[in-house]
Structure 1
């Protein structure tokens, strides 16, 4: 009966997978998601280590995208705290930022506690974290699923918030697909670049040939577009602890 239940179990990191579709291809993160789902079917202990690694990877990706690389010595709770401090956790132009900010801070503290618990589970029961006595008590599928679900929720939240911000205001790393409006405007302003029968979009050529020039033109476009509305940087509303 137990074997039958295990065989029917197919956990999917729905939130994390959906969040990835909002941005550029993140192959390493997708591989980690696949590994967690696979581990829960075959070696549940390994899910603790993989869930922790997934959250670390997303936090480091977010920080690198916005030009604030993570300190390699940061443990996961510190890494998550620094990441959330630098993200815009409130909607732009929120009518009650003070009250909403307090609620978001409570949410962030809850996420930090969840991560701390995930770290403790990983340190004590993760299959790959430390060598251990072969006959040490082990956790089973239920606890491993909890770790995976926690990671799924955190990754989905952080990555979606981050991607929303990057679309509004580019960070240190710029992704071409994030700025369709600018690309269209730029392509209307300049003629197609032709090499024989090959036709290339001016915006795409600029992006690949001179990334800094692309960023400069993009920022000028955003300032002109949002200037009349007094638009702020999308990362300006980060909630500090």
Structure 2
């Protein structure tokens, strides 16, 4: 049976209008885990970015130039898990926040494991088995953490909530700079546009594909940031 991110799939089924193209990211990660487990970190990062961008807009979170873990910390801290109708509502908020933070820290540790030179998936004698186990762990933690945070956010009544559609343009600064250095600025009727912003605006799917490929070929700028 093919590997599935079941929690995220259940979330998408329950919130079809808010899910946007989250299913595309989920399917991409599932395929990478099964077929190319050593490259799944890029897809995990994309799902995290999509969730962060969506939740950040809803909760008015200013990310600035924070790395991926820093942005996730801000997301977790912005949530109020208190149950107002429960006598220990504040305690529930405290413990849930600690639990979610623990999952996030474990995910970061797995990302750091991916970045150890020549030890991408540890040092087990059965390299291929550990490689896939690592991918399963990373995918499972992503499934649990992202589905929970999005479920909490999407279950709140909000007309302005943004669907988790894909990576945020502002969170891919290094990639945008690289893209803009390869192509010339575009001038239309006196207005000048950056190539990266044009691609992001007019063809988000191709932008994301190029971003993922760039991260795979530039781990120092892409994947290492995931464990910063």
Number of the residue aligned with 2:69: 77
Number of the residue aligned with 1:29: 22
Question: Given that residues 76 and 101 in structure 2 are in contact (C-alpha distance below 8 angstroms), is that contact kept between their aligned partners in structure 1?
Answer: no
Q: Given the alignment, which residue of 31, 42, 58 partners 1:38?
A: 31
Pair 1:155 & 2:166 matched:
no
Gap change, CA 1:174 and 1:14, over 3 Å in 2: closer
After superposition, give the CA deviation of every residue in 1:20-41 in whole Å (9 maximum; x if it has no partner).
2333253432111100111122
After superposition, give the CA deviation of every residue in 1:44-67 in whole Å (9 maximum; x if it has no partner).
111122112212221221111333
After superposition, give the CA deviation of every residue in 1:51-106 in whole Å (9 maximum; x if it has no partner).
122122212211113333533x2212211111111122233433212322332232
Number of the residue aligned with 2:3: 11
Number of the residue aligned with 2:45: 52
Unaligned runs of 5+ in 2: 121-126, 164-228
Normalised by the length of structure 2, the TM-score is 0.59
Question: Given that residues 154 and 161 in structure 2 are in contact (C-alpha distance below 8 angstroms), is that contact kept between their aligned partners in structure 1?
Answer: no
What is the rounded CA distance, in whole Å, between the counterparts of 1:70 and 1:60 in structure 2? 9
Question: Given that residues 65 and 171 in structure 1 are in contact (C-alpha distance below 8 angstroms), is that contact kept between their aligned partners in structure 2?
Answer: no
Answer with 1 or 2: which has the greater Rg.
Answer: 1
Pair 1:115 & 2:99 matched:
no
What is the rounded CA distance, in whole Å, between the counterparts of 1:160 and 1:111 in structure 2? 16
Gap change, CA 1:46 and 1:70, over 3 Å in 2: same
Question: Given that residues 52 and 151 in structure 1 are in contact (C-alpha distance below 8 angstroms), is that contact kept between their aligned partners in structure 2?
Answer: no
What is the rounded CA distance, in whole Å, between the counterparts of 2:106 and 2:29 in structure 1? 18
Normalised by the length of structure 1, the TM-score is 0.56
Number of the residue aligned with 1:190: none
Question: Given that residues 54 and 161 in structure 2 are in contact (C-alpha distance below 8 angstroms), is that contact kept between their aligned partners in structure 1?
Answer: no
SS at 2:21 equivalent: helix
Unaligned runs of 5+ in 1: 1-8, 130-136, 176-241
After superposition, give the CA deviation of every residue in 1:120-163 in whole Å (9 maximum; x if it has no partner).
134348xxx9xxxxxxx875111111110010001111011111
What is the rounded CA distance, in whole Å, between the counterparts of 1:87 and 1:34 in structure 2? 27
Gap change, CA 1:172 and 1:97, over 3 Å in 2: same
What is the rounded CA distance, in whole Å, between the counterparts of 2:116 and 2:21 in structure 1? 26
